Amino acid sequence: MSIQWYPGHMEKARRQVTEELKRVDMVIELADARVPLSSRNPMLDSILQDKPRLLVLTKSDMADPNVTDQWLEYFKNEGTEAVALNALQNKGAKPLIEKSQKVTAPLFEKMKRKGIRPRAIRAMIIGIPNVGKSTVINRLVGKKTAKTGDKPGITKAQQWLKVGRDMELLDTPGILWPKFENQLVGYRLAATGAIKDELLDFEDISLFTVNLLKTRYPSALLERYNLDTLPEEDRALFEKIGQKRGLLQLGGYIDEEKCAEIILRDVRGQKLGRISFETPEDWRHLEEDNEMNPE
């Protein structure tokens, strides 16, 4: 299955981001801690250019903590300022502001030398749909200012929001890019809920998810679905889960659509624990493959 999603409002948002950059000191880029690279928009590098940037890994409470630590080390080695944020438990706001102050320090030192009075940091907050942007904003601001939801595409317009005396945030709609060069990126985003479910083949995405769980989190599968063993074939495992969930239809066939829905709902609802869909090592292998097999 080829996964693509680029609603018209996203093209408009891309133009707005480009136009508004001159009004901000820095950009706070949000990425899903479960898929830190897959959830980063590669278009941003060309759009943002040299604008100071802080990468915030959202939903860290849903990701494998060991893998998140690997990602923070990875970004550190890449020279990227990054911080993991657990928005639901209101943890990580102070580190985010401190990191933002670090990122913008050279700019404010320059302003100070010019005799410009100190002011709050003006930051643009940006990320792909359903990355947890509205939830992060509400935690930072301290009240329910932005709409939140578990579906992508909630934010459709821009707005300025104050974070105490330290920061002013310019919220922007989530932006996906026109084409996923690697379909693994599309599958990972689909599994985590970044792409509207109405556009997906649930069974295909759930089989991808089952394969990942079987490979990296087998004990979670065994426990959640009360399984004795894990079949080697993904399809056989999928059907076994359906049987355990009582989804047999007339003729002994599994209700595949319902089974796929249950698996994805369980994963997104953390019924199988904290799961990461990619590691830095995955991307190193991908980069090596691309070097060996250029188009």
Per the annotation, binding residues for GTP are 130-135, 174
Residues making up the annotated binding site are: 130-135, 174
CB environment 267-276: b (16+ within 10 A), e (fewer) = bbeeebebbb
Spatial distance between the Cα atoms of 239 and 234, rounded to a whole number of angstroms: 9
Locate 40 and state its tokens: 């980063």
8 Å CB contact between 231 and 214: no
CB atoms within 10 A of CB 176: 23
Scanning the chain, the segments in alpha helix (DSSP H) are 8-20, 43-48, 65-77, 93-113, 133-141, 183-192, 202-216, 218-224, 234-244, 256-268, 280-292
Spatial distance between the Cα atoms of 161 and 166, rounded to a whole number of angstroms: 12
Q: How many helices and strands (H and E) does the chain possess?
A: 11, 6
Residue among 206, 271, 272, 197 nearest 239 (CA) = 206
In which order are the strands placed within the sheet that holds 121-127? Answer: 82-84, 53-58, 26-32, 121-127, 167-171, 159-163
DSSP bridge pairs for 124: 27, 170
Q: What share of the chain is helix, strand, coil (3-state, %, to 5)?
A: 45, 15, 40
Spatial distance between the Cα atoms of 48 and 21, rounded to a whole number of angstroms: 8
Distances (CA, A) of 81 to 73, 250, 270: 10, 56, 28
